[in-house]
Copies of this chain bind each other. A is one copy, B any other.
Amino acid sequence: MSAAAKSQAPRKRMPRAQRERQMVEIAEIVFAERGYSAASMDDIADRVGVSKPMLYEYFNSKEGLLLACISEARAQLRHVTEQAVAGATDAQDAMRRGLQAFFVFIRERRQAWALVRHESTLIGTSAAQEIEATRQQQTDLIAALMTGYFDDADAGRVEAAAEFVVGGCERLAIWCERHEDVTPEVATQHAMDLLWYGLERLATR
């Protein structure tokens, strides 16, 4: 065995929970850098320093592993957004804080965000559902916020608006990635400008 063994610590055993966390952590990196289908379970297993059947023991399938990664990211996103909105004084403030939290999150956790962005291949599978559930979570948060702060009783309209906001922010976040100079603050400002006052005031004819 070579003298310069990379992590030749004789492969310690570790409790399931800890190993799972480690696997998810590394899988997130590999999925994000190679893409879901190009990533191989053998590769992930190697990097974790464990054999492939362990991954299957804990996550059942490649998709199950992806799912765990997405769930993790989703929980974090939920947490930061709820925290941010909690102290808001009015509707505009709440919206601004929520948007800001989102844009900060996706900048700080690019890899996790990439998992959601580079949607799964898997129509009708649980991973696709999990990604949709993440959006649903954000949509619900926004819809609840609107229902709390706004007068409009039309549920359809509130839902539609919430969906629109989620989709718009997702796109805007991707746009931000192409423009290094656009900070979360600027992104938030753009979104608020549009969302709050609309396009009408810009129209000249």
B204, A151: Cβ atoms under 8 Å? yes
Per-residue interface assignment for chain A, residues 102 to 127, with 1 indicating a CB less than 8 Å from any chain B CB and 0 otherwise:
00000000000010011111111100
| Contacting residue for A190 out of B38, B95, B160, CB 8 A | B160
User: Closest approach, in angstroms, between the C-beta of A96 and any C-beta of chain B?
Assistant: 11
User: Closest approach, in angstroms, between the C-beta of A110 and any C-beta of chain B?
Assistant: 12
Give CA–CA (A90, B202) in the complex, Å. Answer: 12
What chain B residues lie within 8 Å of A151 (beta carbons)?
Answer: 202, 204
User: Closest approach, in angstroms, between the C-beta of A198 and any C-beta of chain B?
Assistant: 3
User: Closest approach, in angstroms, between the C-beta of A149 and any C-beta of chain B?
Assistant: 6
User: Closest approach, in angstroms, between the C-beta of A127 and any C-beta of chain B?
Assistant: 11
Can you pick out 12 interface pairs between chain A and chain B where the beta carbons lie within 8 Å of each other? A32-B123, A34-B123, A36-B123, A38-B121, A91-B204, A92-B200, A120-B121, A157-B193, A160-B191, A163-B172, A164-B172, A198-B198
